[in-house]
Amino acid sequence: MAASVSVTFKEFGGRLNFKPTFAGDLIRLHVRPEVSSLDFNNGVLLQGFRIPALTTRRAETEVELRDGQSFAIAGLINNQAQTDVAALPILGQLPIIGNLFKSKADRKERTELLVIVTPRLVRPLNPDEVPPLPTLPGRFLPKGDDIGEQLRGGGGTVDAPHADSANKPKKSGL
The answer to whether the CB of 39 falls within 8 A of the CB of 16 is: no
- Per-residue pLDDT tens digits of the chain, which is 174 residues long: 566 777 788 888 889 999 999 888 899 999 999 999 888 888 888 888 888 888 898 989 999 999 999 999 888 888 888 888 999 998 888 998 988 999 999 999 888 888 898 998 888 888 888 888 887 766 665 555 566 666 665 555 555 555 555 555 555 555
pTM of the model: 0.52
Amino acid in the structure at residue 92: G
Rounded-to-integer distance, Cα 10 and Cα 38, Å: 10
Rounded-to-integer distance, Cα 75 and Cα 29, Å: 18
Rounded-to-integer distance, Cα 39 and Cα 102, Å: 27
Give the CA distances from residue 15 to residues 30, 65, 142, in Å, rounded to whole numbers and listed in that order: 14, 22, 55
| pLDDT for 63 | 93
| pLDDT for 11 | 87
Q: Torsion angle, CA of 137/139/141/142, rounded to 10 degrees?
A: -90
Q: Torsion angle, CA of 74/75/80/81, rounded to 10 degrees?
A: 90
| pLDDT for 21 | 93
Residue 35: how many CB atoms within 10 A of its CB? 21
